[in-house]
Amino acid sequence: MSVVEAPQGNASQAADSQEKQPLAPEALLEALLFVAQGAVSAADLFLAAKLSEEEGEAALARLETRLATGGLRLQRSGRCLQLISAPEAAPAVEHFLGLEVNLRLSQAALETLAIVAYAQPITRPRIESVRGVNSDSVLRTLLAAGMVEDVGRAETVGRPILYSTTFEFLQQFGLQSVADLPPLEKSEGQGEAAHTA
């Protein structure tokens, strides 16, 4: 039995032509996000890919569309982004990695987290005015759990700390961005006040 070998020149020429073809911008961004250690700012990502902000955003939109039907998603929080597994794959991923989801939040913590998620960035005094009770310990719990983070200080008297949700929050709730939060429903009192104003 004889083996037919391809001429060496053709194989090496084919390999050379494959190496010289540049990646599409969205493929390059995907590769950079894949090797990143965590969330990356869009500016740093575009700089590494040598793309303008406009080109980078267009490439991210194409990447996001392509990923929407696969096992990965593009997760955004502010101007930072990262690749994550699809929320639908969470049970299989957790089983495969031997992870246990053991985050249990109290009703007060969930209430506070919802306020932060919908009104971020938000200060503790503003959270307390919405809840009507002191929120120090609940905020400490959420900070320790990695669900909220200190994102700076408000430019008001006393310069209170501003809180926002984190990538951990997005992952725990299977969201790609805070824009994926369900819309708030207005209560009857709010609707009437809006009509009389």
Tell me what pLDDT residue 191 has: 45
**Rounded percentage of the chain residues whose pLDDT exceeds 90:** 54
Q: Which residue ranges form the domains of the chain, and what is each CATH number? A: 25-100 (1.10.10.10), 107-181 (1.10.10.10)
- The whole-angstrom separation of Cα 84 and Cα 71 is 9
pLDDT at residue number 97: 80
pLDDT tens profile 87-120:
888 888 888 887 766 678 899 999 999 999 999 9
Q: Is the pLDDT of residue 158 over 60?
A: yes
Span 25-30, average pLDDT: 94
| Residue pLDDT, tens place only, 182-191 | 988 876 555 4
So what's the pLDDT on residue 71? 93
Confidence class for position 32, pLDDT limits 50, 70, 90:
very high
Interhelix angle 53-67/25-35, nearest 10 degrees: 80
b/e burial code for range 18-40 (CB count within 10 A of at least 16 → b): eeeeeeebbebbbebbeeeeebb
Tell whether the model's pLDDT for residue 60 goes beyond 60: yes
Higher-confidence residue: 15 or 51?
A: 51
| DSSP3 helix / strand / coil % (the chain, rounded to 5) | 55, 15, 30
Q: For the whole prediction, is pTM greater than 0.75?
A: no
* CA dist., res. 64 & res. 136, Å (int): 38
